[in-house]
Amino acid sequence: MYKANDKRYEDMKYSRCGNSGLLLPKVSLGLWHNFGDTSQYSNMKELCFTAFDNGITHFDLANNYGPEPGSAEKNFGRILKEELYSYRDEMIISTKAGYLMWDGPYGDMGSRKYLIASLDRSLKRMGVDYVDIFYHHRPDPDTPLEETMGALDTAVKSGKALYAGLSNYNGERLEQATAILKDLKCPFIINQNRYSIFDRTIENNGLKATAARLNKGIIAFSPLAQGMLTDRYLNGIPKDSRIMTDGRFLKETAITKERLEQIGKLNEIAKGRNQTLAEMALSWVLKDGIVTSVLIGASKPSQILDNIKAVNNTQFTADELKAIDDISL
Ligand SMILES: NC(=O)c1ccc[n+]([C@@H]2O[C@H](COP(=O)([O-])OP(=O)(O)OC[C@H]3O[C@@H](n4cnc5c(N)ncnc54)[C@H](OP(=O)(O)O)[C@@H]3O)[C@@H](O)[C@H]2O)c1
Protein backbone atom coordinates (compact mmCIF):
# COMPACT_ATOMS: atom_id res chain seq x y z
CA MET A 1 0.00 0.00 0.00
CA TYR A 2 1.17 3.50 -0.80
CA LYS A 3 2.00 5.83 2.08
CA ALA A 4 0.77 9.28 1.11
CA ASN A 5 2.54 12.53 1.88
CA ASP A 6 1.58 13.75 5.36
CA LYS A 7 1.57 17.34 4.13
CA ARG A 8 -0.82 16.71 1.26
CA TYR A 9 -3.47 19.16 2.42
CA GLU A 10 -1.15 22.09 3.13
CA ASP A 11 -1.18 23.92 -0.20
CA MET A 12 -4.22 22.84 -2.22
CA LYS A 13 -7.30 25.05 -2.05
CA TYR A 14 -10.81 23.59 -1.92
CA SER A 15 -14.06 25.12 -3.16
CA ARG A 16 -17.60 24.31 -2.25
CA CYS A 17 -19.45 22.66 -5.09
CA GLY A 18 -22.48 24.88 -5.57
CA ASN A 19 -24.49 24.99 -2.35
CA SER A 20 -23.71 21.38 -1.46
CA GLY A 21 -21.63 20.06 1.38
CA LEU A 22 -18.95 18.80 -0.99
CA LEU A 23 -15.61 20.56 -1.28
CA LEU A 24 -13.58 19.89 -4.41
CA PRO A 25 -9.90 20.66 -4.93
CA LYS A 26 -9.46 23.59 -7.29
CA VAL A 27 -7.45 21.20 -9.48
CA SER A 28 -8.86 17.73 -10.21
CA LEU A 29 -7.27 14.90 -12.22
CA GLY A 30 -9.03 13.30 -15.18
CA LEU A 31 -8.22 9.81 -16.45
CA TRP A 32 -9.49 10.16 -20.02
CA HIS A 33 -5.98 9.78 -21.44
CA ASN A 34 -2.89 7.93 -20.17
CA PHE A 35 -4.84 5.35 -18.12
CA GLY A 36 -5.89 2.92 -20.84
CA ASP A 37 -4.25 -0.44 -21.52
CA THR A 38 -1.92 1.21 -24.04
CA SER A 39 -0.25 3.25 -21.27
CA GLN A 40 2.36 2.22 -18.68
CA TYR A 41 0.85 1.08 -15.40
CA SER A 42 3.84 2.45 -13.45
CA ASN A 43 3.21 5.92 -14.88
CA MET A 44 -0.49 5.75 -14.00
CA LYS A 45 0.46 5.01 -10.41
CA GLU A 46 2.92 7.91 -10.31
CA LEU A 47 0.27 10.28 -11.71
CA CYS A 48 -2.23 9.24 -9.02
CA PHE A 49 0.33 9.42 -6.22
CA THR A 50 1.59 12.85 -7.32
CA ALA A 51 -1.96 14.15 -7.48
CA PHE A 52 -3.05 12.72 -4.15
CA ASP A 53 0.18 13.75 -2.42
CA ASN A 54 -0.55 17.33 -3.42
CA GLY A 55 -4.14 17.55 -2.28
CA ILE A 56 -5.86 16.50 -5.51
CA THR A 57 -8.56 14.39 -3.93
CA HIS A 58 -10.78 14.18 -7.00
CA PHE A 59 -10.26 11.58 -9.75
CA ASP A 60 -12.59 11.74 -12.73
CA LEU A 61 -13.41 8.74 -14.90
CA ALA A 62 -16.07 7.55 -17.32
CA ASN A 63 -17.25 4.12 -18.38
CA ASN A 64 -15.65 4.53 -21.83
CA TYR A 65 -12.20 5.89 -20.92
CA GLY A 66 -9.44 3.74 -22.33
CA PRO A 67 -8.51 2.47 -24.85
CA GLU A 68 -10.09 -0.18 -24.60
CA PRO A 69 -13.24 1.42 -23.21
CA GLY A 70 -13.44 0.46 -19.55
CA SER A 71 -9.70 -0.01 -19.12
CA ALA A 72 -9.13 3.32 -17.34
CA GLU A 73 -11.64 2.28 -14.67
CA LYS A 74 -10.04 -1.15 -14.47
CA ASN A 75 -6.52 0.28 -14.10
CA PHE A 76 -7.63 2.90 -11.60
CA GLY A 77 -9.40 0.15 -9.65
CA ARG A 78 -6.15 -1.79 -9.51
CA ILE A 79 -4.27 1.26 -8.19
CA LEU A 80 -6.98 1.77 -5.59
CA LYS A 81 -6.92 -1.85 -4.48
CA GLU A 82 -3.14 -2.27 -4.45
CA GLU A 83 -2.07 1.17 -3.24
CA LEU A 84 -4.69 3.66 -2.16
CA TYR A 85 -7.63 1.81 -0.70
CA SER A 86 -6.95 2.96 2.84
CA TYR A 87 -7.49 6.51 1.55
CA ARG A 88 -10.86 5.81 -0.12
CA ASP A 89 -12.70 8.12 2.28
CA GLU A 90 -10.33 10.96 1.38
CA MET A 91 -11.10 10.57 -2.33
CA ILE A 92 -13.83 11.76 -4.65
CA ILE A 93 -14.23 9.29 -7.51
CA SER A 94 -16.55 10.15 -10.35
CA THR A 95 -17.74 8.24 -13.36
CA LYS A 96 -20.18 8.75 -16.20
CA ALA A 97 -22.38 7.05 -18.75
CA GLY A 98 -23.78 8.55 -21.93
CA TYR A 99 -21.48 7.60 -24.81
CA LEU A 100 -21.32 4.30 -26.68
CA MET A 101 -20.16 1.54 -24.37
CA TRP A 102 -21.50 -1.76 -25.65
CA ASP A 103 -23.29 -3.20 -28.68
CA GLY A 104 -27.02 -3.09 -29.17
CA PRO A 105 -29.68 -0.55 -28.24
CA TYR A 106 -28.89 -0.43 -24.50
CA GLY A 107 -25.25 0.64 -24.44
CA ASP A 108 -25.44 4.34 -25.31
CA MET A 109 -27.21 7.68 -24.65
CA GLY A 110 -29.62 8.25 -21.73
CA SER A 111 -32.08 5.44 -20.99
CA ARG A 112 -32.62 4.15 -17.46
CA LYS A 113 -31.65 0.70 -18.75
CA TYR A 114 -28.24 1.92 -19.95
CA LEU A 115 -27.35 4.22 -17.06
CA ILE A 116 -28.06 1.73 -14.27
CA ALA A 117 -26.38 -1.19 -16.04
CA SER A 118 -23.37 0.95 -16.88
CA LEU A 119 -22.93 2.18 -13.32
CA ASP A 120 -23.01 -1.41 -12.08
CA ARG A 121 -20.25 -2.31 -14.53
CA SER A 122 -18.19 0.75 -13.53
CA LEU A 123 -18.40 -0.19 -9.85
CA LYS A 124 -17.23 -3.71 -10.67
CA ARG A 125 -14.32 -2.52 -12.81
CA MET A 126 -13.12 -0.13 -10.10
CA GLY A 127 -13.83 -2.53 -7.25
CA VAL A 128 -15.78 0.04 -5.25
CA ASP A 129 -19.23 -0.08 -3.64
CA TYR A 130 -20.15 3.43 -4.71
CA VAL A 131 -18.85 6.40 -6.69
CA ASP A 132 -18.98 9.87 -5.26
CA ILE A 133 -20.39 11.50 -8.38
CA PHE A 134 -22.30 9.80 -11.20
CA TYR A 135 -22.80 11.87 -14.33
CA HIS A 136 -25.00 11.67 -17.34
CA HIS A 137 -22.21 12.19 -19.87
CA ARG A 138 -24.12 14.04 -22.61
CA PRO A 139 -27.70 15.12 -23.29
CA ASP A 140 -29.92 12.61 -25.08
CA PRO A 141 -32.51 14.37 -27.25
CA ASP A 142 -34.57 11.19 -27.72
CA THR A 143 -35.02 10.00 -24.12
CA PRO A 144 -37.39 11.95 -21.86
CA LEU A 145 -35.34 14.06 -19.49
CA GLU A 146 -37.51 12.72 -16.63
CA GLU A 147 -36.29 9.19 -17.39
CA THR A 148 -32.60 10.09 -17.44
CA MET A 149 -32.87 12.21 -14.30
CA GLY A 150 -34.88 9.41 -12.67
CA ALA A 151 -32.02 7.03 -13.41
CA LEU A 152 -29.50 9.39 -11.76
CA ASP A 153 -31.84 9.61 -8.77
CA THR A 154 -32.09 5.81 -8.58
CA ALA A 155 -28.29 5.60 -8.69
CA VAL A 156 -28.08 7.87 -5.67
CA LYS A 157 -31.00 6.41 -3.72
CA SER A 158 -29.66 2.87 -4.21
CA GLY A 159 -26.39 3.96 -2.59
CA LYS A 160 -24.31 3.43 -5.71
CA ALA A 161 -23.55 7.15 -6.04
CA LEU A 162 -23.47 9.95 -3.49
CA TYR A 163 -24.14 12.87 -5.84
CA ALA A 164 -25.47 13.31 -9.37
CA GLY A 165 -23.87 15.38 -12.13
CA LEU A 166 -24.59 16.46 -15.69
CA SER A 167 -22.04 16.78 -18.44
CA ASN A 168 -22.17 18.71 -21.70
CA TYR A 169 -25.64 20.17 -21.00
CA ASN A 170 -26.43 23.77 -21.97
CA GLY A 171 -28.11 26.39 -19.78
CA GLU A 172 -31.65 25.62 -20.88
CA ARG A 173 -31.34 21.86 -20.45
CA LEU A 174 -29.62 22.37 -17.11
CA GLU A 175 -32.53 24.45 -15.90
CA GLN A 176 -35.06 21.79 -16.95
CA ALA A 177 -33.00 19.00 -15.41
CA THR A 178 -32.54 20.92 -12.17
CA ALA A 179 -36.31 21.30 -11.74
CA ILE A 180 -36.84 17.55 -12.17
CA LEU A 181 -33.99 16.63 -9.83
CA LYS A 182 -35.23 19.10 -7.24
CA ASP A 183 -38.67 17.46 -7.28
CA LEU A 184 -36.96 14.10 -6.80
CA LYS A 185 -34.88 15.54 -3.94
CA CYS A 186 -31.84 14.20 -5.75
CA PRO A 187 -28.49 15.73 -4.70
CA PHE A 188 -27.51 17.09 -8.10
CA ILE A 189 -24.54 19.36 -7.51
CA ILE A 190 -22.23 19.65 -10.52
CA ASN A 191 -21.89 20.32 -14.23
CA GLN A 192 -18.93 19.06 -16.21
CA ASN A 193 -18.28 21.09 -19.36
CA ARG A 194 -15.40 22.03 -21.64
CA TYR A 195 -14.05 25.48 -20.83
CA SER A 196 -10.78 27.21 -21.62
CA ILE A 197 -9.31 30.38 -23.07
CA PHE A 198 -9.80 28.70 -26.45
CA ASP A 199 -13.33 27.35 -25.84
CA ARG A 200 -15.90 29.78 -24.45
CA THR A 201 -18.98 27.70 -25.29
CA ILE A 202 -20.39 27.75 -21.75
CA GLU A 203 -20.29 31.54 -21.75
CA ASN A 204 -22.45 31.51 -24.88
CA ASN A 205 -24.88 28.64 -24.30
CA GLY A 206 -26.10 29.81 -20.91
CA LEU A 207 -24.46 27.01 -18.90
CA LYS A 208 -22.07 29.17 -16.90
CA ALA A 209 -24.62 31.84 -15.98
CA THR A 210 -27.37 29.32 -15.23
CA ALA A 211 -25.14 27.17 -13.03
CA ALA A 212 -24.08 30.27 -11.10
CA ARG A 213 -27.70 31.41 -10.70
CA LEU A 214 -28.91 27.98 -9.60
CA ASN A 215 -25.92 27.60 -7.26
CA LYS A 216 -24.61 24.47 -8.97
CA GLY A 217 -20.94 23.64 -9.32
CA ILE A 218 -18.97 23.61 -12.56
CA ILE A 219 -15.92 21.48 -13.22
CA ALA A 220 -14.15 22.61 -16.39
CA PHE A 221 -12.72 19.86 -18.57
CA SER A 222 -9.88 20.25 -21.08
CA PRO A 223 -8.92 23.60 -19.50
CA LEU A 224 -5.57 23.35 -21.32
CA ALA A 225 -7.29 22.61 -24.64
CA GLN A 226 -5.73 19.13 -24.47
CA GLY A 227 -2.25 20.60 -24.13
CA MET A 228 -2.42 23.44 -26.65
CA LEU A 229 -2.59 26.01 -23.83
CA THR A 230 0.86 25.01 -22.60
CA ASP A 231 4.37 25.33 -23.96
CA ARG A 232 4.06 21.78 -25.42
CA TYR A 233 3.72 22.79 -29.08
CA LEU A 234 5.70 26.04 -29.15
CA ASN A 235 8.70 24.44 -30.85
CA GLY A 236 7.19 21.70 -32.96
CA ILE A 237 5.23 18.58 -32.07
CA PRO A 238 7.09 16.50 -29.47
CA LYS A 239 7.16 12.72 -29.94
CA ASP A 240 5.72 12.15 -26.46
CA SER A 241 2.82 14.60 -26.88
CA ARG A 242 -0.85 13.61 -27.03
CA ILE A 243 -0.94 14.33 -30.75
CA MET A 244 1.79 11.77 -31.42
CA THR A 245 1.05 9.17 -28.76
CA ASP A 246 -2.72 9.07 -29.13
CA GLY A 247 -4.18 11.27 -31.85
CA ARG A 248 -7.79 10.13 -31.38
CA PHE A 249 -9.03 13.50 -30.19
CA LEU A 250 -6.22 16.05 -30.59
CA LYS A 251 -4.86 15.96 -34.11
CA GLU A 252 -1.86 17.54 -35.76
CA THR A 253 -4.24 19.61 -37.91
CA ALA A 254 -5.26 21.52 -34.76
CA ILE A 255 -1.80 23.13 -34.60
CA THR A 256 -2.31 25.69 -37.35
CA LYS A 257 -0.08 28.69 -37.95
CA GLU A 258 -2.75 30.97 -36.42
CA ARG A 259 -3.09 28.72 -33.36
CA LEU A 260 0.66 28.73 -32.84
CA GLU A 261 0.74 32.51 -33.04
CA GLN A 262 -1.99 32.71 -30.40
CA ILE A 263 -0.14 30.25 -28.17
CA GLY A 264 3.09 32.24 -28.54
CA LYS A 265 1.40 35.52 -27.60
CA LEU A 266 -0.43 33.97 -24.64
CA ASN A 267 2.87 32.51 -23.49
CA GLU A 268 4.31 36.03 -23.35
CA ILE A 269 1.43 37.24 -21.16
CA ALA A 270 1.96 34.26 -18.87
CA LYS A 271 5.67 35.11 -18.55
CA GLY A 272 4.69 38.64 -17.53
CA ARG A 273 2.63 37.10 -14.72
CA ASN A 274 5.51 34.82 -13.67
CA GLN A 275 3.43 31.82 -14.64
CA THR A 276 3.84 29.08 -17.19
CA LEU A 277 1.23 29.18 -19.92
CA ALA A 278 -0.39 26.08 -18.40
CA GLU A 279 -0.65 27.78 -15.01
CA MET A 280 -2.10 30.93 -16.53
CA ALA A 281 -4.65 29.00 -18.59
CA LEU A 282 -5.89 27.26 -15.44
CA SER A 283 -5.86 30.46 -13.38
CA TRP A 284 -7.94 32.09 -16.10
CA VAL A 285 -10.67 29.43 -15.79
CA LEU A 286 -10.74 29.89 -12.00
CA LYS A 287 -10.57 33.69 -12.07
CA ASP A 288 -14.16 34.67 -11.24
CA GLY A 289 -14.90 31.96 -8.68
CA ILE A 290 -17.78 30.47 -10.68
CA VAL A 291 -15.87 27.36 -11.73
CA THR A 292 -15.42 25.03 -8.78
CA SER A 293 -12.49 23.02 -10.14
CA VAL A 294 -10.34 22.70 -13.26
CA LEU A 295 -10.21 19.13 -14.52
CA ILE A 296 -6.76 18.56 -15.97
CA GLY A 297 -5.18 15.63 -17.72
CA ALA A 298 -1.49 14.81 -17.42
CA SER A 299 0.95 12.46 -19.08
CA LYS A 300 3.74 13.17 -16.57
CA PRO A 301 3.81 13.85 -12.82
CA SER A 302 5.78 17.06 -13.47
CA GLN A 303 2.79 18.48 -15.35
CA ILE A 304 0.59 18.00 -12.28
CA LEU A 305 3.18 19.80 -10.14
CA ASP A 306 3.21 22.68 -12.60
CA ASN A 307 -0.57 22.86 -12.85
CA ILE A 308 -1.34 22.96 -9.14
CA LYS A 309 0.60 26.24 -8.90
CA ALA A 310 -2.25 27.85 -10.83
CA VAL A 311 -4.29 28.15 -7.64
CA ASN A 312 -1.77 30.63 -6.21
CA ASN A 313 -2.63 33.46 -8.59
CA THR A 314 -6.11 33.63 -10.06
CA GLN A 315 -6.28 37.43 -10.17
CA PHE A 316 -6.05 39.12 -13.58
CA THR A 317 -5.87 42.81 -14.41
CA ALA A 318 -8.43 44.22 -16.83
CA ASP A 319 -5.58 44.78 -19.29
CA GLU A 320 -4.48 41.16 -19.07
CA LEU A 321 -8.03 39.90 -19.61
CA LYS A 322 -8.48 42.16 -22.60
CA ALA A 323 -5.17 41.10 -24.10
CA ILE A 324 -6.12 37.41 -23.66
CA ASP A 325 -9.49 38.03 -25.32
CA ASP A 326 -7.93 40.01 -28.16
CA ILE A 327 -5.60 37.11 -28.89
CA SER A 328 -8.02 34.25 -28.48
CA LEU A 329 -11.49 35.38 -29.52
N1 LIG B 1 -17.26 15.19 -19.77
C2 LIG B 1 -16.68 15.12 -20.94
O3 LIG B 1 -17.32 15.01 -21.99
C4 LIG B 1 -15.18 15.16 -21.00
C5 LIG B 1 -14.52 15.27 -22.22
C6 LIG B 1 -13.12 15.37 -22.21
C7 LIG B 1 -12.42 15.32 -21.01
N8 LIG B 1 -13.11 15.17 -19.84
C9 LIG B 1 -12.40 15.09 -18.54
O10 LIG B 1 -11.44 16.12 -18.47
C11 LIG B 1 -10.16 15.57 -18.18
C12 LIG B 1 -9.07 16.44 -18.72
O13 LIG B 1 -9.18 16.55 -20.13
P14 LIG B 1 -7.87 16.81 -20.96
O15 LIG B 1 -6.91 15.69 -20.72
O16 LIG B 1 -8.27 17.14 -22.34
O17 LIG B 1 -7.33 18.14 -20.19
P18 LIG B 1 -6.22 19.21 -20.50
O19 LIG B 1 -5.71 19.54 -19.13
O20 LIG B 1 -6.77 20.29 -21.33
O21 LIG B 1 -5.08 18.48 -21.33
C22 LIG B 1 -4.22 17.57 -20.72
C23 LIG B 1 -2.96 17.38 -21.54
O24 LIG B 1 -2.24 18.62 -21.61
C25 LIG B 1 -0.84 18.37 -21.48
N26 LIG B 1 -0.39 19.03 -20.25
C27 LIG B 1 -1.00 19.04 -19.04
N28 LIG B 1 -0.33 19.81 -18.18
C29 LIG B 1 0.74 20.30 -18.85
C30 LIG B 1 1.79 21.17 -18.48
N31 LIG B 1 1.88 21.70 -17.26
N32 LIG B 1 2.72 21.47 -19.42
C33 LIG B 1 2.64 20.96 -20.66
N34 LIG B 1 1.66 20.13 -21.08
C35 LIG B 1 0.70 19.81 -20.16
C36 LIG B 1 -0.68 16.86 -21.43
O37 LIG B 1 -0.56 16.42 -22.77
P38 LIG B 1 0.63 15.51 -23.33
O39 LIG B 1 0.07 14.16 -23.38
O40 LIG B 1 0.91 16.10 -24.67
O41 LIG B 1 1.77 15.63 -22.37
C42 LIG B 1 -2.00 16.41 -20.88
O43 LIG B 1 -2.29 15.08 -21.17
C44 LIG B 1 -10.25 14.17 -18.77
O45 LIG B 1 -9.29 13.31 -18.24
C46 LIG B 1 -11.64 13.79 -18.38
O47 LIG B 1 -11.67 13.41 -17.03
C48 LIG B 1 -14.46 15.11 -19.81
Residue 266, pLDDT score: 98
Segment 309-329, tens digit of pLDDT: 999 999 999 999 999 999 999
For residue 241, the ligand 1 atom closest to its alpha carbon is 40
68: left (phi over 0), alpha (psi -120 to 50) or beta: beta
Contact 297, 34 (CB under 8 A): yes
b/e 52-75 (16+ beta carbons within 10 angstroms → b):
bbbbbbbbbbbbbbbeebbbbbbb
Segment 119-178, tens digit of pLDDT: 999 999 999 999 999 999 999 999 999 999 999 999 999 999 999 999 999 999 999 999
Residue 202, pLDDT score: 98
Please report which confidence band the pLDDT of residue 11 belongs to, taking 50, 70 and 90 as the band edges. Answer: very high
Domain boundaries, the chain: 14-328
Segment 46-103, tens digit of pLDDT: 999 999 999 999 999 999 999 999 999 999 999 999 999 999 999 999 999 999 999 9
**Residue 83 carries which DSSP code?**
I
Closest Cα to atom 47, ligand 1: which residue?
30
Ligand 1 centre and the CA of 29: distance in Å? 9
CATH of domain 14-328: 3.20.20.100
- Average pLDDT of 248-266? 97
Residue 114, pLDDT score: 98
Please report which confidence band the pLDDT of residue 276 belongs to, taking 50, 70 and 90 as the band edges. Answer: very high
Residue 52, pLDDT score: 98
Ligand 1 centre and the CA of 135: distance in Å? 19
Please report which confidence band the pLDDT of residue 192 belongs to, taking 50, 70 and 90 as the band edges. Answer: very high
Cβ of 306 closer than 6 Å to ligand 1, yes or no, is yes
Ligand 1 centre and the CA of 154: distance in Å? 31
What is the percent of the chain where pLDDT is above 90?
100
Most ligand 1 atoms within 8 A of CB, residue of 40, 54, 226, 291 to mutate: 226
Q: What is the mean pLDDT of the chain?
A: 98
Most ligand 1 atoms within 8 A of CB, residue of 93, 222, 243 to mutate: 222
